[in-house]
Amino acid sequence: MTKITALKDGPYSVEGPITITDGSGQTKEVKAGQSVRLCRCGASKTKPFCDGSHKVVGFKSDK
């Protein structure tokens, strides 16, 4: 089962299985037991994936 968790002051953690397609149409397969982090702050240079920019820009989550 796919699980999405919003990490405090950070990205979304997405646990597979899931297929993620970016804005240019490239896909990434995340298998069961694997996980990826998706940008939530908007500052990542590797969108939709997190590159740690939330730490630099001081992103704070609502909860």
Domain limits, the chain = 3-57
Model confidence at 63: pLDDT above 90: no
Q: What is the pLDDT of residue 42?
A: 97
SS3 category, 49: strand
> Is 3.40.5 the CATH classification of the domain at 3-57?
yes
SS3 category, 14: strand
Q: What is the pLDDT of residue 32?
A: 98
Model confidence at 62: pLDDT above 90: no
pTM above 0.85, yes or no: yes
Q: How far is residue 26 from each of residues 22, 23, 48, 56, measured CA to CA in Å?
A: 6, 7, 11, 27
pLDDT tens digits for range 9-45 = 999 999 999 999 999 999 999 999 999 999 999 999 9
